[in-house]
Amino acid sequence: MRRAALLFFSFFFSQILFSSDFSAANNSFDYPQKMKLDKLNRRSKFPIGINAYGLGPIGGLALTADFFLTPKVALELGAGFRNFDLDNGFTIGVRYHVFGKTLLNLTPYVGLYTAFHHNGTNLQNNSVYVPVGIHKIKKNGFSWSAEVAWQRNTFMTNGWSGGFRLGYRFKTGKGKR
C-alpha cells in the first residue's frame, strides 16, 4: 500500500512540475494560436468559482471557492458541516486536470485534499482525501463535478468515499474575447 501511494504521489507531482504549463520549452505552435486557445479554454475564461460541495473531504455539506492557477491546476478552500449535528469542518486541496490545456469542457482530474475540524479550542486534522473525478464547465459559467475518492478519516471508517459539486464560475478579463 505504501509503495502504491508513493508511486501515485510521484506521478502526481511530476505531472505538475514537468507539465507544459510550467515548461519554458513549450513553443510547439505560434503565439497567436496559443492566445486563441487560452481565450477559448473555459478553465482560462472562468478561473474563479464558488461551489456547494456534497460529501467530499469534510463529509457533509460545504461551500468552497476554487481558483485555476493554470488551466491544469486548481486550488480549493472550503468550510462546511461534517454531520447533521452541524460540527464544522474546513478543507484545502489541489486538483490536477489531465486535459486542462485542451478545449474540452469535460475534464478528468485527480486531487489531494485535507480536512480539519474545530474541537472548541484548536483545529485538528481529521481527513486525507484523494479524489478522481470529472469536471464540466458550461458556457454560461455553471459547473458540476463528480468524484470517487480514497479517504483516511478519524470520524468514520477509512476507505472509499465520493463527492459532488454544483457551482458557478466567474469570468475574468484574461479570457474575454
Predicted confidence band at 24 (pLDDT cuts at 50, 70, 90)?
Answer: very low
20 is a domain residue: no
Cβ-proximal residues to 167 (8 Å cutoff; 6+ apart), any chain: 49, 50, 51, 52, 64, 142, 143, 144
123 or 151, greater pLDDT: 151
* Three-state DSSP state, 12: helix
3 is a domain residue: no
18 is a domain residue: no
39 is a domain residue: yes
Instruction: Give the domain CATH number at 146.
Output: 2.40.160.20
113 is a domain residue: yes
Separation between Cα atoms, residue 146 and residue 165, nearest integer Å: 7
Predicted confidence (pLDDT) at residue 4 exceeds the cutoff of 60: no
Measure Cα distances from 163 to 97, 150, 159 in Å: 17, 11, 14
Q: What domain range includes position 44?
A: 31-175
Number of domains into which the chain is organized: 1
Look-up: residue for cell 478545449? Answer: 103
Predicted confidence band at 22 (pLDDT cuts at 50, 70, 90)?
Answer: very low
